[in-house]
Amino acid sequence: MIHRERRPSPLRWVNNFREKLGRNAKALSLVPREQRFYDLFEQQAATLIQSANLLEQALADVANLRVLQREIKDLEHQGDEITHEIVRVLFQTFVTPFDREDIYDLAAGLDDILDYIEEVADTVNLYGITVIPGPAHELAGLLTQAVVQIEQAIAKLRSDKENSEHGIEVHRLEDTGDATSRRAIAELFSSEHPPLEVIKLKDLYGLLEDALDRCEDVANVLEGIAIKNA
CATH code of the domain covering residue 194 = 1.20.58.220
Q: Are 201 and 133 in contact (CB under 8 A)?
A: yes
Position 6 in a domain: no
For residue 166, give the nearest of 180, 145, 181, 141 by alpha carbon: 145
* Structural domain includes residue 29: no
Per-residue pLDDT of the chain (230 residues; tens, 9 = 90+): 444 444 444 444 334 434 543 444 444 443 455 689 999 999 999 999 999 999 999 999 999 999 999 999 999 999 999 999 999 999 998 889 999 999 999 999 999 999 999 999 999 999 999 999 999 999 999 999 999 999 999 999 988 677 789 999 999 999 999 999 999 999 998 878 899 999 999 999 999 999 999 999 999 999 999 888 87
Residue 39 lies inside a defined structural domain of this protein: yes
Q: Is residue 190 part of a domain?
A: yes
Domain-embedded: residue 10: no
Q: Is residue 205 part of a domain?
A: yes
Residue at 183 is within a domain: yes
Residue range(s) defining the domain that contains residue 39:
35-228
Answer whether residue 51 is part of any domain. yes
Q: Which residues of 184-204 are buried (b: 16+ CB within 10 A; e: fewer)?
A: bbeebeeeebeeeeeebbbbb
* Domains held by the chain: number: 1
| pTM, 2 dp | 0.84
